[in-house]
């Protein structure tokens, strides 16, 4: 169940094989070839965020069982997705 202080992050958001219309939410350059829940978990831990993992069907691909993460809401979702992708891929980021 969705909570106000948490945001939902689907594994499909990071899948390089998906188009944006099919559910990918990160740039292709930051997407993963075969995203695994363990990779997302590792990234969330590195970012110091609390989360819960759930198995479910992503609405845009309801025929495939996948995972989503209920993550504490500390930053905007799009910013979180970018930071998480960068951490997972090992991309160096620069603070403003």
pLDDT tens, residue by residue, 37-91: 999 999 999 999 999 999 999 988 889 999 999 999 999 999 999 999 999 988 5
Which CATH number among 3.20.20.370, 1.10.274.100, 3.30.56.30, 3.30.70.360 corresponds to the domain 6-89? 3.30.56.30
State the pTM of this model: 0.86
Q: Tokens 């590195």, residue?
A: 46
pLDDT tens, residue by residue, 28-52: 999 999 999 999 999 999 999 999 9
By the 10 Å C-beta count (0-12 exposed, 13-18 middle, 19+ buried), 41 is classed as middle
Report yes or no: 85 and 24 within 8 Å, Cβ to Cβ: no
**pLDDT band, residue 1 (cuts 50/70/90):** low
Phi (first) and psi of residue 59, to 5 degrees: -55, -35
């Amino acid at each position: 169940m969705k909570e106000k202080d948490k945001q939902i992050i689907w594994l499909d958001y990071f899948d390089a094989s998906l188009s944006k219309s099919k559910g990918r939410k990160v740039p292709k350059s930051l997407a993963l070839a075969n995203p695994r829940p363990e990779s997302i978990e590792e990234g969330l831990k590195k970012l110091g965020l609390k989360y819960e993992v759930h198995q479910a069907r992503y609405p845009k691909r309801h025929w495939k069982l996948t995972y989503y993460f209920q993550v504490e809401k500390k930053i905007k979702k799009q910013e979180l997705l970018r930071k998480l992708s960068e951490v997972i891929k090992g991309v160096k980021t620069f603070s403003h």
